[in-house]
A and B are shown apart, each in its own frame.
Chain A
Amino acid sequence: EPEVTQTPSHQVTQMGQEVILRCVPISNHLYFYWYRQILGQKVEFLVSFYNNEISEKSEIFDDQFSVERPDGSNFTLKIRSTKLEDSAMYFCASSGPSGLAGGSWPKNIQYFGAGTRLSVL
């Protein structure tokens, strides 16, 4: 069964350092997302990405964050200068098989990876 894969599973970094979290979405999906979950809290939307550009971002996704799809398979989240409060689980998700357009139902089912636990010390 196709799945979203994320690496690394756990990333430890020092405050102020840059980190790159990596994701391989499901291969025929067109829409990509990053969410985060602070321990014990709900999952929060960060950013959505479609057609090589950001389609939506939350207030959390400030100038320290960026996303990129460097090739046909990877989708990355970069945090330029990490802060203590960036410590969280970061989930990548994808949706929307190719060939479906507009608001068709299957596009909306977002499939999540297992997450990367980011610990900022």
Chain B
Amino acid sequence: GESVGLHLPTLSVQEGDNSIINCAYSNSASDYFIWYKQESGKGPQFIIDIRSNMDKRQGQRVTVLLNKTVKHLSLQIAATQPGDSAVYFCAEFETGGGNKLTFGTGTQLKVEL
């Protein structure tokens, strides 16, 4: 079946470094993608989104890149801070596909001081 998956389950970075979290998706009909951050004991928190007609979108310290050719998403976090430590999920959405998000398995980001 269709799935959204992540390349790495855990990513450790030094404080101040840039982080790159990757995500592969397989539903070619997905036309909208969201990155969520989930801290321990909390619900997913919206970070940034991107539509399939874009290949890059920037927010505050975060950038999402979309490569539709290889069905790949990445989340770049600049100057990673201890507060960025969390699990990051990509989620895909297909317009007309029932208004549901399909989540990937998550990447644990650990920021080392």
A residues lining the B interface (CB < 8 Å): 4, 31, 33, 35, 41-45, 48, 50, 55-56, 58, 91, 103, 105, 108-115
Q: Is A43 a contact partner of B89 (Cβ separation < 8 A)?
A: yes
Residues on B with beta carbons closer than 8 Å to the beta carbon of A44: 103
Bound Cα distance from A42 to B102, whole angstroms = 9
Interface string of B16-34 (1 = CB under 8 A from A): 0000000000000000101
Known: A91-B44, A115-B42. A48 touches B98 (CB 8 A): yes
Q: Is B99 a contact partner of A50 (Cβ separation < 8 A)?
A: yes
B residues lining the A interface (CB < 8 Å): 32, 34, 36, 41-46, 49, 51, 89, 91, 93, 95-96, 98-106
Q: Is B43 a contact partner of A115 (Cβ separation < 8 A)?
A: yes
Q: Distance in Å from the Cβ of B108 to the closest Cβ of chain A?
A: 11
Q: Is A109 a contact partner of B102 (Cβ separation < 8 A)?
A: no
Known: A43-B89, A48-B98. A112 touches B45 (CB 8 A): yes
Residues on B with beta carbons closer than 8 Å to the beta carbon of A110: 34, 46, 101
Q: Is B89 a contact partner of A42 (Cβ separation < 8 A)?
A: yes
Residues on B with beta carbons closer than 8 Å to the beta carbon of A112: 36, 43-46
Residues on A with beta carbons closer than 8 Å to the beta carbon of B104: 42
Q: Is A114 a contact partner of B106 (Cβ separation < 8 A)?
A: no
Bound Cα distance from A56 to B106, whole angstroms = 24
Q: Is B49 a contact partner of A108 (Cβ separation < 8 A)?
A: yes
Bound Cα distance from A113 to B100, whole angstroms = 16
Q: Distance in Å from the Cβ of A41 to the closest Cβ of chain B?
A: 8
Instruction: Name the 6 nearest CB pairs between A and B, nearest first.
Output: A56-B98, A112-B43, A45-B100, A43-B103, A103-B95, A112-B44
Bound Cα distance from A41 to B103, whole angstroms = 10
Bound Cα distance from A20 to B48, whole angstroms = 32
Q: Distance in Å from the Cβ of B41 to the closest Cβ of chain A?
A: 8
